[in-house]
Amino acid sequence: MLDLNTTNLYSVGGRLTSEQFGDREERRTDMDCEICGKKEPESIMVLPIHKSDGALITIVCEDCGEKSSAYCVKHRRIHQGFDDGTTVCIACVEELIAQERHNARHVADAVMKHLSLEEAADLREVAEMSSSVTGDPTEVSILRFVASKAKRTKTSVEMVIDIIVSSGSAECILP
């Protein structure tokens, strides 16, 4: 059972049913759809949509969630949110990585050779941490950062590399 006193809803994500909230009426009144206003929907989605009041999530009913730009219809899943306000379907990113995996070394080299020594070391460190979790080589982790940015901004891997080359900075892909 989900305990709203100890659970960070942003990390939960997904669909939550009213049964998961128990009989805590004072909590359930806060679970109205923030888009259409539907009162106590049967299930809700916690979307990573930043709001003007500074909140990092938006609670919506299933109908509004599935129509949201923060929901992937293809994979039937909620996007992951990022500090810059963008969102992306992780499955879509992984598809792009699978398509571009053969170019991972080229992508990593193209990015790294245009960075200062300090920034290249920072990117390498973050990529190594990512690789320790995923089991992928470091160059695939760098490709993952580039692919994530490409999907979040609806551009291409090449376009993100061009941005890094022209700015001389990997700030746009660093988590």
Domain ranges of the chain: 9-72, 90-167
pLDDT of residue 1: 29
Dihedral over alpha carbons 67, 73, 91, 100 (to 10 degrees): -110
pLDDT of residue 136: 97
Report the C-alpha gap between 168 and 95 in whole angstroms: 27
What average pLDDT does the segment 53-81 reach? 93
Instruction: Tell me the average pLDDT of the chain.
Output: 86
pLDDT at 3 over 50: no
pLDDT of residue 14: 52
pLDDT at 137 over 90: yes
pLDDT > 70 fraction of the chain, expressed in percent and rounded = 83
pLDDT of residue 30: 63
Report the C-alpha gap between 85 and 75 in whole angstroms: 21
Question: pLDDT tier at 55 (50, 70, 90 boundaries)?
Answer: confident
